[in-house]
Structure 1
C-alpha cells in the first residue's frame, strides 16, 4: 500500500489532495515530504471568520511539520492561498493541519 493511500484513509482533508510523496535522505535523519494542493474548484476558507470566500493569490510554498509516521518525520509542502474576504479583508486561508 502506498503512503498516499494510507494518508487518504487516515488523515483526509476535505478541500485538499495529496500529490507527490518523496523520501528524503539529505537531512540528518530520513524524512517524508508530501506535496498538497487544493481540490479543483474548491474555494479557500477565511482563517478569521471561517466562511468560504474567493481566492486572491498564493503565497510562497512552505513546509509544515506533520505527525511522524513510524518514527519518521513527515512534512507537508503547500503554497497557501490568500482569501479576499469582504468582512475580514485579505488573509491566509485556513489550513486544517496548522
Structure 2
C-alpha cells in the first residue's frame, strides 16, 4: 500500500537543479491504482474483477482533492473514510 510520505528520488545523471529541495509525493489515488493493477487484474476473470475497482479509480482521479470516493476497497484492507491524505 502506498505511503503518504515523500517518495525517494532516483539518482539522475543530470543531478538536481541548485536550490531544488522538493521531494515527489505519492498521489492521492495510489491505493485505488494499486488495487486495480496488482489485485483486480489478477483475481480470476478480469472481465468480472476489473470493472468495479476501475470505476472507483477513475472516480478518484476525476475528483477534486479531499473529495475522493469513500466506497470501500474491493481487495485491499483499507478503510477509505479513515485514510488521511496530507497534501502540502
Structure with higher Rg: it is 2
- TM-score, normalised to structure 1's length? 0.22
Structure richer in helix, relative to its length: 2
